[in-house]
Chains A and B, each alone.
Chain A
Amino acid sequence: MTSNRLGFMSHTNTTESLHESLRSGRLVSVFGTKDGEHKLSIHYVVDAGASGYRFFQFAADRPVTSITAITPAAAWYEREVHDQYGIEILGHPDLRPLVLHENWPDGVHPMVSAVGSVPWASRPYPFLEVHGDGVCEVAVGPVHAGIIEPGHFRFSVMGDRVIHLELRHFYTHKGTEKLFEQSPVARGMLIAESVSGDNCFAHAVAYCEAVENAFGVQVPRRAAAIRLIGLELERMLAHVADVGALCGDVGFTVPAAYASRIKEDLLRVSAACVGTRYWRGMATPGGVNRDFSSAAASSLAAAVERASGEFASLARKVLDTASVQNRFEGAGVLLANVARDLAVVGVVARASGIALDVRRDHPYGAYTEQAIDLPVFHYGDVLARARVRINEAAVSAQLISEIAANLPPGPTCAAAGFEKDAQGFSAVESPRGELLYWVSCRRGQIARCHIKSPSFQNWPALPFAVADNIIADFPLINKSFNLSYSGCDR
């Protein structure tokens, strides 16, 4: 297998070395593959810190022993592999269907069989029941009152206090990883862009970099710089919108309205500079599709600087408001040890005292030349997550200004052919956290593309932050995580 500057694809595939690696490292992803002869494999990705990402591959035609007992973060991944590939997992504490719902028949595994016409079934799905005097169940969703994505939340409450929360997601499962199969390598980013709407550029870049790593394509420096601007702008947009939405959730409407105005300004300047508001269609394997004029770069930098200043003063006012502090502080605490056990990533990890950022730990693209200032807070509450977002937006604005002022000259796209068989991966820090793409290409087509999305990783941590809070605070806590349904459901 190929070696890679981000890490290496390991040959030492023993269970012992996997367990050893999991004890010192962080589980990144678990996924299945099927080779040309229909032989199933299960892959484990571990972040081994300074030595990069380590990949482990095991044959999965026979049952595989669960690693959930060693690292609880594997629970959802193993359930997914069990659903999608039918790989038997031994010793998993909870192998209820995860991705596939009650209407999906037993024994049909979408990643190994055709899904053209699957009969309608009705399987039972037992929720965990909490018994006791005065315990009530409150079911919320999948249809919500606001314009948000579908997800089901099953609360067991005692009065207003939440005892247990169970998530039931995957209502927006689109079979994305299946869609990638047989798609031409040069067009895969169009699928990647549609995985998670507000992180579309991060997904597109992650896909492109995985392909570039697989084929050894060197991205021109100018293209890498433009990608960095796009990624940081996306992060800034997400954080501005999230802080506004947090205010909206506590009924603090004025900052919410101002934040959406700041976001809109940034979107409009994006549209003026690159032709699309969310940078869709910008990334392509080998570089970017559109160049920046220097006038566009400076107008973008000016707009970002103005938005950053406005957002900073807005954020200061929000955090100085006593009624906001009262709502944010101490709400939805995610303890550091829980966060570590569930291997959470992104803003959620950094608000629970885990200094983790792909840009700093495993730099890629133009980040190899940048030092990233990492805001980390230790309280793990809504306030900590809000402050991480506020500080990160400032860091992003700073990065955009620096890069836009010194755009390297040169071409924006390297010519590349994708005909040979190759495998590669890339990791990108999306606004929600670590995003990993693993691609395997055969004869110019994608044979398999696995997406490790930060939302899939972080959703299981939400119930731990919500337990023991009052149910009326759930929307606020959920918003402070701001996880994607679409990105998680694939």
Chain B
Amino acid sequence: MTTAAANVLQYLLLVLGAPLLRALIARVKAVIQRRQGTNLWRPYADLLKLFRKEDLVPPDSSPLFRFAPMMLAASTFVAAALVPTVNQSALLAFAGDFIVLVYVLALGRFFMGLGALDGSSSFAGMGASREAMISALAEAPLLLGLIAVAILAGQGNIVEIVRWTLSQNFFDVSAVHAVAFAALAMVAIAETGRMPVDNPTTHLELTMIHEAMVLEYSGPSLALIEWAQAVKLTVVLSLLIGLFAPWGMAANLTLAGLALGLGAYLLKLVVLAIVIAVLESSIAKLRMYMVPEFLGIATALGALAVVFTALLRR
């Protein structure tokens, strides 16, 4: 098997399998609440249903309204091609470093904000302004955390960072990694709109952040948004796995190596999904004004991680 084929396969796995991860989190949460929960394949049925439906567009909107979900999906799918998952390589690894990843994701967010404002509903506008605040505040800790890891590895490309991490001793977890992981995990929660920053399952418009932005969307546009959101969650989690726990990732393209890489990756994702579900079940959502403090802590941790790199690299 060539590297390119393996990369295409792992990319398809991420993009097509992403809705399953969200369903898994929802299912674990249901089990914790002693509910039966929905079928794991339900998100696919939902997507199929939405893709077949009519796209309702608010009368006052411009073509931007329809364009925004496409940009979101496109940017998220590109981001998915930058992250190694099963194999120590990625489809677009040659195309850029972690800064590209950060801003490709930001591009989708930017367009979603514009699309939400374009729909001219007061809830969407409110959601867009909140999302803008959160993404502005989340950018610093995200970059700081990634910079710390990159300095430590001496590499800017995510695949190279992963390879460097794999070459290190399994038990040799540096302080930089611990602190950067904490910062990036907090950012991951904010970036993907999960509890306690945002509640993806609420019906209360006034408390929504991401969901408020997409209230006006329907049909195929909504399907793209939902799919992109699922992919984004998986990309962010895969990034955490790749940067901080890549062990098991296939080094050579043998069938056994790939199978081991796949198994290790899926196992780690499932563990993360369970951790998210347990975390989301055991706390109440933050008051909106606490979110900057939450991300402030993440920024402080990110800065600390960068400081630590100076100590570790003498």
Among listed A54-62, A233-241, A358-366, A469-477, interface-contacting one: A469-477
Which residue in chain B gives the minimum CB-CB distance to A470? B288
A146 contacts the other chain (CB 8 A): yes
A187 contacts the other chain (CB 8 A): no
Taking a contact as CB atoms under 8 Å apart, the answer to whether A146 and B203 are in contact is: yes
B311 contacts the other chain (CB 8 A): no
Contact A251/B285 with A136-B122, A139-B122, A471-B206 known, Cβ cut-off 8 Å: yes
- Chain A nearest Cβ from B131, distance in angstroms: 13
Taking a contact as CB atoms under 8 Å apart, the answer to whether A251 and B33 are in contact is: no
A250 to B280, CA, bound (A): 11
- Residues on A with beta carbons closer than 8 Å to the beta carbon of B122: 136-139
A27 to B275, CA, bound (A): 54
Among listed A197-205, A322-330, A392-400, A451-459, interface-contacting one: A322-330
Chain A, 249-288, contact with B by CB distance < 8 Å: what is the 0/1 string?
A: 1111110011001000000000000000000000000000
- Residues on A with beta carbons closer than 8 Å to the beta carbon of B199: 251
- Residues on B with beta carbons closer than 8 Å to the beta carbon of A160: 130, 288-289
B153 contacts the other chain (CB 8 A): no
Taking a contact as CB atoms under 8 Å apart, the answer to whether B284 and A326 are in contact is: yes
Residue pairs across A and B with CB atoms within 8 Å: the count is: 82
- Residues on A with beta carbons closer than 8 Å to the beta carbon of B289: 160, 470
Taking a contact as CB atoms under 8 Å apart, the answer to whether B206 and A474 are in contact is: yes
Chain A, 168-194, contact with B by CB distance < 8 Å: what is the 0/1 string?
A: 000000000000000000000000000
- Residues on B with beta carbons closer than 8 Å to the beta carbon of A327: 284-285, 287
Taking a contact as CB atoms under 8 Å apart, the answer to whether A257 and B33 are in contact is: yes
Contact A247/B33 with A146-B204, A474-B206 known, Cβ cut-off 8 Å: no
Interface centre among B34, B202, B290 (most CB of A within 10 A): B202
B168 contacts the other chain (CB 8 A): no
Chain B, 275-292, contact with A by CB distance < 8 Å: what is the 0/1 string?
A: 000001111111111100
Contact A250/B284 with A136-B122, A138-B126, A261-B34 known, Cβ cut-off 8 Å: yes
Taking a contact as CB atoms under 8 Å apart, the answer to whether A323 and B32 are in contact is: no
Taking a contact as CB atoms under 8 Å apart, the answer to whether B288 and A472 are in contact is: yes
- Chain B nearest Cβ from A320, distance in angstroms: 12
Interface centre among B206, B281, B285 (most CB of A within 10 A): B206
Contact for B282 among A138, A146, A249, A254, CB less than 8 A:
A254
A249 to B130, CA, bound (A): 19
A184 to B155, CA, bound (A): 86
Contact for B196 among A140, A249, A257, A323, CB less than 8 A:
A323
- Residues on B with beta carbons closer than 8 Å to the beta carbon of A254: 32-33, 281-282
- Chain B nearest Cβ from A169, distance in angstroms: 18
Taking a contact as CB atoms under 8 Å apart, the answer to whether B283 and A323 are in contact is: yes
- Residues on A with beta carbons closer than 8 Å to the beta carbon of B18: none
Taking a contact as CB atoms under 8 Å apart, the answer to whether A321 and B281 are in contact is: no
A340 to B204, CA, bound (A): 30
A386 to B195, CA, bound (A): 23
A474 to B202, CA, bound (A): 14
B207 contacts the other chain (CB 8 A): yes
- Residues on A with beta carbons closer than 8 Å to the beta carbon of B283: 252, 321, 323
Which residue in chain B gives the minimum CB-CB distance to A161? B289
Taking a contact as CB atoms under 8 Å apart, the answer to whether B204 and A249 are in contact is: yes
- Residues on B with beta carbons closer than 8 Å to the beta carbon of A474: 206
Contact for B33 among A253, A472, A476, CB less than 8 A:
A253
Which residue in chain B gives the minimum CB-CB distance to A145? B203
Taking a contact as CB atoms under 8 Å apart, the answer to whether A472 and B206 are in contact is: yes
- Chain B nearest Cβ from A249, distance in angstroms: 7
A321 to B285, CA, bound (A): 12
- Residues on A with beta carbons closer than 8 Å to the beta carbon of B284: 247, 250-252, 321, 323-324, 326-327
A142 to B210, CA, bound (A): 23
Taking a contact as CB atoms under 8 Å apart, the answer to whether A326 and B204 are in contact is: no
A268 to B45, CA, bound (A): 35
A270 to B282, CA, bound (A): 32
- Residues on A with beta carbons closer than 8 Å to the beta carbon of B287: 326-327, 331, 470, 472-473
Contact for A475 among B35, B123, B201, B207, CB less than 8 A:
B207
Could you tell me how many residues of chain A have their Cβ less than 8 Å away from some Cβ of chain B? 32
Taking a contact as CB atoms under 8 Å apart, the answer to whether A140 and B285 are in contact is: no
- Chain A nearest Cβ from B124, distance in angstroms: 11
A331 to B289, CA, bound (A): 12
B46 contacts the other chain (CB 8 A): no
- Residues on B with beta carbons closer than 8 Å to the beta carbon of A471: 126, 206
Interface centre among A261, A324, A326 (most CB of B within 10 A): A326
A473 to B205, CA, bound (A): 11
Which residue in chain A gives the minimum CB-CB distance to B288? A472
- Residues on B with beta carbons closer than 8 Å to the beta carbon of A472: 206-207, 287-288
B66 contacts the other chain (CB 8 A): no
B29 contacts the other chain (CB 8 A): yes
A470 to B286, CA, bound (A): 13
Chain A, 131-171, contact with B by CB distance < 8 Å: what is the 0/1 string?
A: 00000111110001110000000000000100000000000
- Chain A nearest Cβ from B275, distance in angstroms: 16
- Chain A nearest Cβ from B249, distance in angstroms: 35
- Chain B nearest Cβ from A154, distance in angstroms: 11
- Residues on B with beta carbons closer than 8 Å to the beta carbon of A261: 34
- Chain B nearest Cβ from A150, distance in angstroms: 15
- Residues on B with beta carbons closer than 8 Å to the beta carbon of A146: 203-204
Which residue in chain B gives the minimum CB-CB distance to A139? B122
Which residue in chain B gives the minimum CB-CB distance to A252? B284
Interface residues of A in 458-474 (CB under 8 A from B): 470-474
A326 to B283, CA, bound (A): 11
Interface residues of A in 376-391 (CB under 8 A from B): none
Which residue in chain A gives the minimum CB-CB distance to B283? A323
- Residues on B with beta carbons closer than 8 Å to the beta carbon of A145: 203-205
A258 to B34, CA, bound (A): 8
Which residue in chain B gives the minimum CB-CB distance to A471? B206
- Chain B nearest Cβ from A25, distance in angstroms: 38
Chain B, 77-109, contact with A by CB distance < 8 Å: what is the 0/1 string?
A: 000000000000000000000000000000000
Which residue in chain A gives the minimum CB-CB distance to B126? A138
- Residues on A with beta carbons closer than 8 Å to the beta carbon of B196: 251, 323
- Residues on A with beta carbons closer than 8 Å to the beta carbon of B123: 138
Interface residues of A in 469-487 (CB under 8 A from B): 470-476
12 CB contacts below 8 A, A to B, read: A138-B206, A160-B288, A160-B289, A251-B195, A251-B201, A252-B283, A254-B32, A254-B282, A323-B196, A324-B284, A471-B126, A471-B206
Given A251-B285, A327-B284, 10 more pairs with CB closer than 8 A = A138-B126, A144-B205, A252-B285, A323-B284, A324-B284, A326-B287, A471-B206, A472-B207, A473-B288, A476-B207
